């Protein structure tokens, strides 16, 4: 026998009924985002590798270790191939599109959301995949349109709290920090580097590397022995300049007024280079080690670093895989069984079944059409196992009289009903 071909490591098939939960999440997301006036953007999965090198940053784990990237075949022999990458995140693509299509010429702020797959070559484990899905949103625009306002940050965070509430997810924590800006961060980084010089030899190998390449990431370290050392390192909050400090205070003030609970976590730095000022993460206890459901922050200099005009912005990305896991671990969303199974009895009935199915589906009924060659008992058993709620028996007599035997498969009750009544009876009341 030929070798079985399986889904690639770190990728997975999403099957029904689980896809029902995914659809439930996505429609709730679209509903909630709509009332905050967000509109959808869809950017390509393939991008120029440089986009991520210049935005996410070459020293980050994502770009240095986790990217699926390759040199594409050159169009002509004299040319070099272009380096392409599967997107590891979507903010860079959205900001590229903002610049490429001059979206700043449109009035007000751009409020854009996306839903789609992202790719990172990480070590797969529960809640961590190589192809995973993110739901994200970005608010971006000229300063004159108010893009730097702390009210934008607070509104985005409040929208997330509303979304989680709408999905019935409780027990989340919003962790919040300010990572400063181009004015104050270099000063802080220097202080951090200086402090690390004396202690880094006692830290884990990863921290020793990070101290050189990306010292902020030392604050992210989870190794227990390193924790007392990290606690004593300088804190960003002591280095914020006046404008960043006021900005952060204002975000907190508005959140408090809206009764959105949060915790200031001075060690929250997030992995990507482009973040400035507000940085945040929502975590959830049910998720185990990979407990972040979503993360985000401000990126006031990102557009300029990609060659665009000044366009401060803020955004987040929800890990959809983890959001779905949280739902399944807490409430669980019921699968949606079909409403009615049509069991055609006897030769020549398939076409009548097809006709009736077409009529009922036109009225929004979810129909499974059986086959005239199936035995009635077998049909009813199959329908019951599939969780279909009603079976409709369709034989020559029924077609001639217009009266059909409709069986409720959970109670076993059977009634004779006219054709026009079927849809009303089998459709679940909303």
- Residues near ligand AMP, by CB under 6 A: 89, 120, 122, 127-129, 132, 134, 271, 292-295, 317, 319, 321-322
The first and second tokens of residue 337, run together, are: 């069984």
- Using CB positions, name the residue nearest to ligand AMP: 319
- How many other C-beta atoms are found inside a 10 Å radius of the C-beta of residue 266? 13
Phi-psi region of 345 (alpha: psi -120 to 50; beta: other; left: phi over 0): beta
Which parts of 36-135 fold into alpha helices (H)? 49-52, 61-65, 91-100
Closer residue to ligand AMP (CB): 66 or 372:
66
- Minimum distance from residue 290 beta carbon to ligand AMP (Å): 7
Closest contact distance (angstroms) between CB of 96 and ligand AMP is 16
Pull the structure tokens for residue 384.
């019951």
Nearest-angstrom CA–CA distance, 29 and 319: 13
Cβ closer to ligand AMP: 121 or 336?
121
184/172 Cα distance (integer angstroms): 31
Alpha-carbon dihedral of residues 320, 326, 327, 332, nearest 10 degrees?
130
The distance of closest approach from Cβ of residue 106 to ligand AMP in the complex, given in angstroms and rounded to an integer, is 26
Q: Which is nearer to ligand AMP, 72 or 329 (CB)?
A: 329
Task: For ligand AMP, give the closer residue by CB, 215 or 296.
Answer: 296
The nearest distance, CB 181 to ligand AMP, in angstroms, is 19
Q: In whole angstroms, how close is the CB of 57 to ligand AMP at the nearest point?
A: 12
Instruction: Give the pair of three-digit tokens for residue 150.
Output: 């702390």
**Residue 273 structure tokens:** 């280079």
Q: How far is the CB of 315 from ligand AMP (least distance, A)?
A: 10
**Between 321 and 339, CB nearer to ligand AMP:** 321
Q: Which is nearer to ligand AMP, 180 or 319 (CB)?
A: 319
Question: What is the bridge-based pairing of β-strands 414-418 and 403-408?
Answer: antiparallel
């Amino acid at each position: 026998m030929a070798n079985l071909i399986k889904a690639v490591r770190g990728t997975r098939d999403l099957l029904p009924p689980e896809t029902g939960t995914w659809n439930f999440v996505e429609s709730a997301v679209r509903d909630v985002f709509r009332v905050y006036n967000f509109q959808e953007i869809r950017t390509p999965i393939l991008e120029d590798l440089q986009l991520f090198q210049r935005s996410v940053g070459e020293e980050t784990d994502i770009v240095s270790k986790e990217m699926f990237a390759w040199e594409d075949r050159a169009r002509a022999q004299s040319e070099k191939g272009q380096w392409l990458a599967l997107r590891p995140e979507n903010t860079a693509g959205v900001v590229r599109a903002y610049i490429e299509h001059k979206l700043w010429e449109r009035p007000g702020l751009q409020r854009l959301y996306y839903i789609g797959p992202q790719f990172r070559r990480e070590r797969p484990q529960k809640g961590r995949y190589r192809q995973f899905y993110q739901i994200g949103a970005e608010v971006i625009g000229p300063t004159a349109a108010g893009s730097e306002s702390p009210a934008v940050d607070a509104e985005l965070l409040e929208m997330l709290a509303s979304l989680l509430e709408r999905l019935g997810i409780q027990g989340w924590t919003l962790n919040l920090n300010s990572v400063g800006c181009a004015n104050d961060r270099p000063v802080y980084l220097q202080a951090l580097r200086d402090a690390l010089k004396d202690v880094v030899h006692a830290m884990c190998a990863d921290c020793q590397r990070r101290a050189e390449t990306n010292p902020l990431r030392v604050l992210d370290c989870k190794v227990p022995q390193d924790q007392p050392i990290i606690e004593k390192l300088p804190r960003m909050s002591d280095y914020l300049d006046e404008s960043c400090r006021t900005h952060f205070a204002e975000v907190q003030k508005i959140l408090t007024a809206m009764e959105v609970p949060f915790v200031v976590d001075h060690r929250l730095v997030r992995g990507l280079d482009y973040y400035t000022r507000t940085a945040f993460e929502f975590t959830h206890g049910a998720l185990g080690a990979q407990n972040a459901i979503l993360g985000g922050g401000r990126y006031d200099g990102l557009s300029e670093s990609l060659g665009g005009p000044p366009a401060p912005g803020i955004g987040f990305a929800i890990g959809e895989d983890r959001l779905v896991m949280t739902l399944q671990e807490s409430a669980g969303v019921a699968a949606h069984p079909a409403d009615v199974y049509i069991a055609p009895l006897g030769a020549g009935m398939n076409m009548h079944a097809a006709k009736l199915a077409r009529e009922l589906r036109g009225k929004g009924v979810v129909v499974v059409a059986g086959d005239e060659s199936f035995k009635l008992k077998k049909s009813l058993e199959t329908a019951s196992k599939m969780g279909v709620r009603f079976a409709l028996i369709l034989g020559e007599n029924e077609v001639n009289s217009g009266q059909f035997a409709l069986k409720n498969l959970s109670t076993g009750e059977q009634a004779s009903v006219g054709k026009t009544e079927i849809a009303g009876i089998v459709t679940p009341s909303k």
